[in-house]
Amino acid sequence: MPGGADVLAGLDLTLFEDERIAVTGPTGAGKTTLLQLMVGLLTPFSGTVNAFGRERVSEKDFREVRARTGFCFQNPDDQLFCATVLEDVAFGPLNLGKSRDEALAVSLETLDELGLENYENKVTYRLSGGEKRLVSLASVLSMRPDVLLLDEPSNGLDDYHSDKLIEILNSINKTIVIVSHNNAFNEKTCGNFLRLENGQAKPAISRGTGH
């Protein structure tokens, strides 16, 4: 970790099914680190990660975790790498072994759900920031994940797209972890709050602690 200090030391977090938890805290508190640990992009120096009923250690373990977890990155440009929207949204389902037709069907369905009809053939890099955010959400929702991890989802969104995103998140029945320092956004989308400070967790309001 930058600075050498222990991040997330002694953190014990359990995430329950259908729980919606917002993780807040100042920059450098380890919010993104927490999400990356959950899907095995980082390995903890000490401690364990348990997901979907068992301990996850190897890359192979985490591959299964990632198949059931939709991780939406902070910057949509990091997530969307294909030339067209449809290809990006179909990327996940195809990786999960879906056939071409199944992947196409689930991608178009996801785009419809997010109000992105007729976006499938648009060129990714010409979309606006808000549209890119919605498409990157579509690109993980098309994998039909059980858990959704969102890293600063409200970053760079105008009011219209922010409201739309809140509406979408409230309409889907999934376990959600949102990392954000936008308190207004968190309050509109989550029931539980966790505050990270100096690498330590402080349940801000309710029972907290997940995963």
Residues making contact with another protein (CB under 8 A): 36, 39, 41, 63, 66-67, 69-71, 73, 75, 77-79, 81-84, 86-87, 90-92, 94-96, 100, 103-104, 124-125, 139-140, 143
According to DSSP, the residues that pair with 55 across neighbouring strands are 50
Radius of gyration, alpha carbons of the chain:
17
In the complex with another protein, the residue whose CB is nearer, 81 or 184, is 81
In the complex with another protein, the residue whose CB is nearer, 77 or 167, is 77
Minimum Å gap between C-beta 92 and another protein is 4
- From first CA to last CA, the distance across the chain in angstroms is 21
In the complex with another protein, the residue whose CB is nearer, 79 or 175, is 79
Task: Using alpha carbons, list the distances in angstroms from residue 147 to 17, 52, 178, 199.
Answer: 8, 10, 11, 24
Minimum Å gap between C-beta 83 and another protein is 4
In the complex with another protein, the residue whose CB is nearer, 70 or 208, is 70
Minimum Å gap between C-beta 200 and another protein is 25
* Contact in structure between 206 and 191 (CB atoms under 8 Å): yes
Minimum Å gap between C-beta 183 and another protein is 26
